[in-house]
Amino acid sequence: MSLENDPFLNISYSIINPYIEDWQKSNRKVVGYYCTYIPEELLHAAELIPFRIRATGTKDTDLADIYMVRFTCSFVRATLDLALRGNYDFLDGFLVCNSCDHSRRMFELFNLKVFNRENFNKKVPQFYLALPHVITDEGFEWYKKEVEELKEELEKAYQIKEITNEMLLESINIYNENRKLLRNIHKLRVQEKPKLTGSEFLQINMANSSIPKDIANQELNRIISALKSRKAIDVSNKKRILLVGSIVDDIDFTQLIENSGAFIASDFLCFGTRNFNDDVQLVNYDDPLENITKRLYYRLSCPRMMDDHLRRLDFLKEEINRAKVDGVLLQRINNCDLHGCDNMLFTHELKELDIPVLNIDREFYQSDTTRLQTRIEAFIEMI
Amino acid sequence: MVNRVEMENRIIPYKMLYEAVASTQGLVDGILPAHGIPSLKLGLGHIKSVMEDFIVKAGEGLPIIGHHFSFPTEYLYCFECVPVCIEATSYFLAALLPNGSEPYYDLITNWGHPFHTCSSQKGTMGMTLDDLFKFEAIITPTAPCDNTYASYPFFKYHKNIPLITPDLPFLKAEKSYRYHAEEIKLGLEKLGKVIGQEPNYNKLKQVLEVENQVTNLQMEIFELKKATPCPVENMFNVMAAAAQIYLAGREEKLEFYRQMLEIAKFRYKKKEHHAGEEKIRSIWPYMIVFFDLAMGEWLDRHLGMSILFDIFNYNFADPINTKSDLETLFYGMAKKAMEAPMTKQSAEFYYPFIETCVQLAKDFSADCFIFTSHLGCKQFGSVPQLLREALRDEVGIPMLLIDLDVGDARFASEKIIREKIKLFAQTLL
Ligand code: SF4
Ligand code: SF4
């Protein structure tokens, strides 16, 4: 069975897709967001599609370069570029949290330059969540209030009488199911004889974040059945790689790696394990929103959480063993200080495990393909 | 028995700084006429004596505590300690040593620190990697930028230095002050445990009272800058930034500002400009160039361009109420920390920053803005064009944008920067 041209995976190639168009035809709303730290279940319970903003396929950032200086993250610049060209006009809401300095500032730029464009007349409500940078009890209490306030803002903005606990519980179930399905697919990848490539896995994750979750779950079930009956991929002469770092939302990059003699057996990425590793634990049925926030806040972190590096390192170690990895590829998009510094520490720490590590920087769009390919090929050969 | 030299060697870069300050001061005293660049003469004199004191205290074995500039130095004076500001150290050395902090930037960059990450931390990280600093603990708020939460873990996870991180919300709201107040309190308590001292809040109050008085003096100087010509020389901006950190909470700081206020008043009355004639009034809404200490003076003398202020000289917090209970005290401290230059602009949206700039331009009759777009500061990476448009539309003045690293001449050299400003100035005259 081939996943080539699978309609679900194909969603990952474009921004807007037929599911979104259908959804909006019946006057339902879509809210764009940047970061895995936002409470998707809450949006889902409000009958909104949380759409993870990406810039798949963008090749330059001419328009966005007017507003963002050149040492900003080219991924974020590319998303702004698309938005300035109208590709995100379908959004009915925009939610930003202070994940990193680059994406956080999209709050103002979308407000002033995207939603305020000439001839763009839609009123797009904007929401902001202030997320602590450390994991503490006090920080949790802070974030819980932020999420509660967001709930009220959503109710007001979209004239929802109340987002009830029942609605939230239902969303939790759907999202937990979704994460379980992704973990099951991930299992089919990490195994010795994998059923799918790292690039296919990335596509599945991207598509999953761009359509209603109920439909995504059906699609993931379909993909799992298909994968189970699929012949294993021959990776016997490939090196198994753990891919770590800045956002990857384009298979150009993963294919470049996988065409260089590697197989991406596991990852530590936003469109990957970071997003589905932890479930919402329903400890308190009277306050499902608290449970949602608990998962968000205490889950496997990304480097924006400054006191949680060791837990991230432990995760890498576990994945190295679990996916029987031959080497670790650390990458950052240029100007991404967060992943750049986390990767710096990983480089030294992983040396102690005697596992080959390559630490690279890259632009979001593949302007430096040859340089990257040469470095990756040399690394694979060295392993 | 404390081995004094060994103890002093926990802050070798401070010894280097002391030497650099002393020799620069000697040079300044020897070359400049009696009235020449008073802010430089006075500032260096005070900083030298404080540095001397720090070295003596380190020799006596007091704990060396590193801190981010966004955690005001004076807050650490509830302890007997030697405070070391991570960012100011990198940049003060960049300003005073012939090769600046470059050897230390290179050291940590070669260790893997990304080239685009802020040089203000890079320098001290390099020094710490080389064991030139031996910190007992480091305290930093979780602000103002990605560089902070990205770089500081190096101290904790690689150098095993206890790192205390009072959280600072990226939201300007009443609840944020209360939250951050509690975080500062918990942070100081934690720090006290690490270094084996109880925080002495009475001593802290005294120090904060000194700072309150300093703020009043700063406000007076600020007001005088509305006059044409500006009665304060450009060098004052650099020395004020240094005083903010090194003289924090001390009599020397009060003295520095008293002296500068007198000079400013004198010039104001006489309508006198430090370097002869003021031709252009500029505002640098962000940082000045730290590796080129002489740039301000060059602008004064060669272009007649005043730098009315940079980011460290137009943000003033309310005085802290030291007469009430501890809760009020910490609330005031939190508010001050969140209103501090850079933290304020980072933790809120762009809108107030742009409004402030427009208002400053109007109130201080500015002819232009110069925005130093610092490689490290990603949180400001998408404001320059918005600001440029606002200044053009609402005030009708231009803005020059310069891409640089304010602490590393290798990104854009002083020659290139000066040339850009010179060409820009020609378009204004
Ligand atoms: S890659 Fe880094 S800088 Fe870019 S959006 Fe992600 S965290 Fe931010
Ligand atoms: S990047 Fe900017 S805000 Fe952050 S430490 Fe450097 S100078 Fe300060």
* DSSP string of A313-333, one letter each residue: HHHHHHHHHHTT-SEEEEEEE
Residues from chain A that touch B117, judged by Cβ atoms under 8 A, are: 337, 340-341
Say if the Cβ atoms of B153 and A98 lie within 8 Å. Answer: no
Q: With contacts defined as CB-CB under 8 Å, which chain A residues touch B152?
A: 306
Identify the pLDDT of residue A15: 95
Q: Chain A partners of B378 at a C-beta cutoff of 8 Å?
A: 71-73, 100-102, 335, 337
- Decide if pLDDT at A383 tops 80: yes
Considering only the beta carbons, identify the residue of A67, A142, A310 that sits closest to B382. Answer: A67
Q: Mean of the per-residue pLDDT values for chain A?
A: 96
Nearest-by-Cβ selection for B167 from A68, A139, A332? A139
The pLDDT confidence band at residue A366, using thresholds 50, 70 and 90, is: low
Q: Which of A334, A327, A336 is nearest to A358 (CA)?
A: A327
In the prediction, which pLDDT does A59 show? 83
Which of 145-164 (A) contact B at CB < 8 A? 145
A343 CB within 8 Å of a chain B CB: yes
User: Which residue in the set B146, B152, B401 is minimally distant from A101, CB to CB?
Assistant: B146
Long-range pairs, B313-318, Cβ under 8 A, ≥24: B313/B218, B313/B222, B313/B236, B313/B237, B313/B240, B313/B241, B314/B222, B314/B341, B314/B356, B314/B360, B315/B339, B315/B340, B315/B341, B315/B344, B316/B215, B316/B218, B316/B219, B316/B222, B317/B215
Residues within a 6 A CB radius of ligand 2: B 87, 118, 120, 144-145, 147-148, 342, 374, 376-377
Give A211-229 pLDDT, tens digit per residue.
999 999 999 999 999 999 9
Q: Which own/partner contact pairs does B420-428 have at CB distance under 8 Å and 24+ positions apart? A: B421/B299, B421/B303, B421/B305, B421/B370, B422/B302, B422/B303, B424/B368, B424/B370, B424/B398, B424/B400, B425/B279, B425/B280, B425/B303, B425/B305, B427/B398, B428/B280, B428/B367, B428/B368, B428/B398
- The predicted pLDDT at position A134 comes to 98
**What tokens were used for B138?**
């480091």
Contacts of A367 (CB under 8 A, 6+ apart): none
Q: Is A344 helix (H, G, I), strand (E, B) or coil?
A: helix
A72/B contact by beta carbon, under 8 A: yes
Which pTM was predicted? 0.96
CATH number attached to the domain at A231-382 = 3.40.50.11900
How far apart CA A36 and CA B143 sit, in angstroms, is 21
Q: For chain B, say whether A304 makes contact (Cβ under 8 Å).
A: yes
Window 373-412 of B, Cβ < 8 Å to A? 373, 375-376, 378-379, 381-386, 401, 403
Distance from CA of A229 to the nearest CA of B (A): 44
Helix axes A213-229, A198-208, angle to 10 degrees: 160
A307 touches chain B (CB under 8 A): yes
Better-scored residue on pLDDT, A285 or B212: B212
Cα(B113)–Cα(A45) distance, integer angstroms: 42
Cα distances (angstroms) measured from residue A30 to each of A83, A94, A127, A208, B245: 15, 9, 13, 14, 48
Q: What integer pLDDT is reported at residue A369 of this predicted model? A: 83
Nearest residue on chain A to B140, alpha-carbon basis: A306
Query: Which carries the bigger pLDDT value, residue A56 or residue A39?
Result: A39
Q: How far is the CA of B121 from the centre of ligand 2 (A)?
A: 8
The secondary structure element, H or E, covering residue A33 is: strand A29-33
Q: Does A333 touch chain B (CB under 8 A)?
A: no
Q: What is the per-residue pLDDT across B105-135, written as a single tens digit (0 to 9) for each? A: 999 999 999 999 999 999 999 999 999 999 9
Identify the pLDDT of residue A306: 97
pLDDT at residue number A69:
95
**pLDDT tens per residue across span B389-417:** 999 999 999 999 999 999 999 999 999 99
Q: Is the pLDDT of residue A289 over 70?
A: yes
Task: Assign B36 a pLDDT band (cuts: 50, 70, 90).
Answer: confident
Lowest mean pLDDT among A40-44, A54-58, B84-88, B198-202: A54-58
Residue A2 has pLDDT above 80, yes or no: no
State which amino acid sits at residue A356: P
Show which of residues 256-275 on chain B sit within 8 Å of chain A, judged by CB atoms.
Answer: none
Record: contact A341-B403, CB cut-off 8 A: no
Any B CB within 8 A of A107 CB: yes
Nearest CA in chain B to A106: B382
If you measure from the C-alpha of residue A40 to the centroid of ligand 1, how many angstroms do you get, rounded to a whole number?
20
pLDDT bracket for residue A373 (50, 70, 90)? very high
Over its C-alpha atoms, chain B yields an Rg (Å, rounded) of 21
User: For the ranges A7-16, A365-374, B21-30, which has the lowest average pLDDT?
Assistant: A365-374
Question: If you average pLDDT over residues A26-34, what whole number do you get?
Answer: 97
Q: Pick the range with the lowest mean pLDDT from A120-129, A182-191, B30-39, B219-228.
A: B30-39
The tokens for A55 are: 């810039």
Closest by CA to B163, choosing from B133, B191, B185, B195, is B191
Mutation pick from A37, A341, A347, A363 vs chain B, by most beta carbons of B within 10 Å, is: A341
Domain B4-197 class in CATH: alpha beta
Average pLDDT for B44-55: 97
Q: Which residues pair with A330 in a beta bridge?
A: A244, A359
Residue A133 DSSP class: S
- Check CB contact under 8 Å for A138 and B179: yes
Helix (H) / strand (E) element for A312: namely helix A309-322
The residue type of A360 is I
Class of domain A18-163: alpha beta
Rounded average pLDDT over B157-163: 98
Instruction: Give contacts of B350 with chain A, Cβ < 8 Å.
Output: 105, 108
Q: Name the residue type at position A60.
A: D
Residue A283, pLDDT score: 82
Looking at residue B143, its pLDDT comes to: 96
B87 Cα nearest atom in ligand 2: 5
Kindly report the protein residue whose alpha carbon is nearest to atom 3 of ligand 1. A336
More confident residue, A340 or B316: A340
Judged by CB atoms closer than 8 Å, whether chains meet at A304 and B157 is answered as: no
**pLDDT interval class at B1 (50, 70, 90):** low
Q: Which of A54-58, A149-153, B220-224, B241-245 has the lowest mean pLDDT?
A: A54-58
Average the pLDDT over B68-82 and give the result.
98
Return the closest-CA partner of residue B360 out of B395, B398, B392: B395
Nearest-CA distance from A380 to chain B in Å? 21
Mean pLDDT over the full length of chain B:
96
Domain spans, chain A? 18-163, 231-382
- A74-109 pLDDT, tens digit per residue, is 999 999 999 999 999 999 999 999 999 999 999 999
Per-residue pLDDT at A301 exceeds 90: yes
Q: Is B68 on the interface with A (CB under 8 A)?
A: no
pLDDT, mean of residues A331-357: 96
Supply the Cα-derived Rg of chain A in whole angstroms. 20
A1 pLDDT higher than 70: no
pLDDT at res. A368: 75
pLDDT value at residue B28: 86
- B320-372 pLDDT tens trace: 999 999 999 999 999 999 999 999 999 999 999 999 999 999 999 999 999 99
Q: Which of A335, A341, A347 sits opposite B151 (nearest CB)?
A: A341
CA-closest residue to ligand 1 atom 4:
A73
Q: Using an 8 Å CB-CB cutoff, list chain A residues near B182.
A: 138
